[in-house]
Amino acid sequence: MPDTAAGTRPDKHEILASVFGFSAFRRGQEDIVDRLTAGGKLLAVMPTGAGKSLCYQLAGMLRGGITIVVSPLIALMNDQVAALTANGVAAEAIHSGRDWQTNADAWRRIAGGHSGFLYLSPERLTTDRMLSALAKLPVRLIVIDEAHCVSQWGHDFRPEYLTLGTLRETFPQAAIGAFTATADTVTQGDIGDKLFGGDGETFTFGFDRPNIHLDVREKAGGPAQLVKLVGELAAGGAQGIVYCLSRKGVEETAERLNAAGIKAIPYHAGMDAHTRHIHQNRFLSEPDLVMTATIAFGMGIDKPDVRFVVHADLPANMEAYYQEIGRAGRDGNPARAVMLYGLGDIGRRRAMIDSGNAGDERKRVEWQRLNVLLGYAEAVTCRRQMILSYFGEASEPCGNCDVCDSPPSVFDGTQEAEIVAEMLIATDERYGQAHLLDILMGAATAKIKSAGHHELPAFGAGRPRDRHQWQSYLRQMLAAGYLSLDLEGYGALKLTKRGRAILAGGVEVSLKDSLPRRATPKMKSTA
């Protein structure tokens, strides 16, 4: 596609209608198109189906010249080339799935200015030969699809994506758009660093699933609690998934549900492939069926009328959680997500991270992610707002979560927060939760004594309440942004700017008791 002279360039709404046949942009699309058309560098995080390809295809047409689209998936490249061609837009793909002649013809059309879209795998693009050939052509837009592959914190790191970080120097005049459906804020930051040297914008749109009611409950009363809960959710024949951490948990839960008259079948990777297949098909085709499963179940299951997802155990992190509950209510009708959460889960999840063979840095990131989820579990503000902000999307209180339904009874925890803030300052913000809790509980451990922390005013100041309660306060303060977890400092808790303001006075900190109090607090006398 040769350059269109400025002034005669068609308008974005015109192209939207004439090429794509749509009358309006979806939320977020227009901003992304505008920024890219203006030559910007951006990361767009939008769930599958939100309309990412339209953003860069339209921007590519508006920018003129050549648009390079980097994608790791041959099938996806072929689909997009076919779709563009069907819309009357010339597009090419060069990849190992095509013979030499087909690839050579495609290149000739690109080099001759007859075609403006070139789809390439990262390996193909970053060969010296390809880069120097492309450097002679008017490359105006570079699109990096599945951009989470560039980050080790994403779920699908591909080393060949790292070399894409040099593109901004090879093609300084090109706009760069990175697109992905999955990246939490940690991953987003990493992608921005790797691809843009930190010099890019991030757009996050479309994560909200407003029809899913969110609910977190503390584990209490053993297996009977779960059976009762699922019984309520499944009443009237509603179908759902109950996620358990272990295979044993999956089997036992299915048995208990059946014993209680709730039709349930298990699914986990320890079952033979044939049985798994049968159970999956039963879940898809039979009414009135509850699937108890490990996370092995759900990938690629597109059943629109799943009415509930229960987490019988704490999920791994917020991203996993949101993906798992996202299997409910795809039809847009009301659906429910209930997570059960107990202290034992926290220990188990931590042990899973610690015993894994990931490097220290990765473990620290996983710890941080787990802590975000714990903060979510103890939220005193709208749960959906928390989730969406985790993915980088701003929103209002949702009116469709347990916290919005009945806000927890919070108390003025300013004094507790002051104790924590003073303790952090006095210990140079160098200690992790366990040591800080020892101080609050007045546990004269060897580490405490050698650091002289038994002489701090905070030593034993938390005693009127128990250790788990303080642990919850620390997590709540973390969740509310008063504290941060130092990833470089082995999980040390630090005060944020907001946290420092507690010491300056004038800040009111709300806390909630997530566990029954074992003693009446008498903070005034100990503070």
Shortest distance, position 46 Cβ to ligand ADP, whole Å? 5
Please report, as a single letter, which amino acid is at residue 254: A
* Backbone φ, ψ for residue 67 (5° rounding): -110, 125
Q: Which of residues 34-73 bind ligand ADP (CB under 6 A)?
A: 46, 48-54
Q: Residue 435 touches which of Zn ion, ligand ADP, none (CB < 5 to 8 A by kind)?
A: none
**398 contributes a contact to Zn ion by CB under 5 A:** yes
Please report, as a single letter, which amino acid is at residue 307: R
Please say which residue, 15 or 386, places its beta carbon nearer to ligand ADP: 15
Q: Residue 404 touches which of ligand ADP, Zn ion, none (CB < 5 to 8 A by kind)?
A: Zn ion
Please say which residue, 22 or 157, places its beta carbon nearer to ligand ADP: 22
Q: Residue 53 touches which of Zn ion, ligand ADP, none (CB < 5 to 8 A by kind)?
A: ligand ADP
Q: Is 208 helix (H, G, I), strand (E, B) or coil?
A: coil
B/e letters for 395-430, b = 16+ CB within 10 Å, e = fewer, are eeebebbbbbeeeeeeeebbbbbbbbbbbbebbebe
- Helices 360-377, 318-325: crossing angle, 10 deg rounding: 50
Shortest distance, position 19 Cβ to ligand ADP, whole Å? 11
Please say which residue, 4 or 87, places its beta carbon nearer to ligand ADP: 87
* Closest C-alpha to 223, from 97, 354, 312: 312
Q: Which of 4, 9, 19, 26 binds ligand ADP (CB under 6 A)?
A: 26
Q: Residue 52 touches which of Zn ion, ligand ADP, none (CB < 5 to 8 A by kind)?
A: ligand ADP
404 close to 414: Cβ distance less than 8 angstroms: no
Q: Residue 50 touches which of Zn ion, ligand ADP, none (CB < 5 to 8 A by kind)?
A: ligand ADP
Do β-strands 175-180 and 139-144 pair in parallel, antiparallel, or remain unpaired?
parallel
Q: Residue 268 touches which of ligand ADP, Zn ion, none (CB < 5 to 8 A by kind)?
A: none
* Closest C-alpha to 309, from 325, 332, 290, 289: 325
Site string for Zn ion, 350-389 (x = CB under 5 A): --------------------------------x-x-----
- Helices 467-479, 360-377: crossing angle, 10 deg rounding: 100
Q: Which residues contact 183 (CB under 8 A, 6 or more apart)?
A: 43, 45, 147, 148, 151, 154, 191, 391
Q: Which of 401, 423, 495, 509 binds Zn ion (CB under 5 A)?
A: 401
Q: How far apart are CA 393 and CA 388, in angstroms?
A: 5
Please say which residue, 401 or 495, places its beta carbon nearer to Zn ion: 401
Q: How far apart are CA 522 and CA 410, in angstroms?
A: 17
Q: Which of 4, 9, 19, 22 binds ligand ADP (CB under 6 A)?
A: 22
Please say which residue, 184 or 345, places its beta carbon nearer to ligand ADP: 184
Please say which residue, 46 or 69, places its beta carbon nearer to ligand ADP: 46
> Footprint of Zn ion on this chain (CB under 5 A)?
382, 384, 398, 401, 404
> Footprint of ligand ADP on this chain (CB under 6 A)?
22, 25-26, 29, 46, 48-54
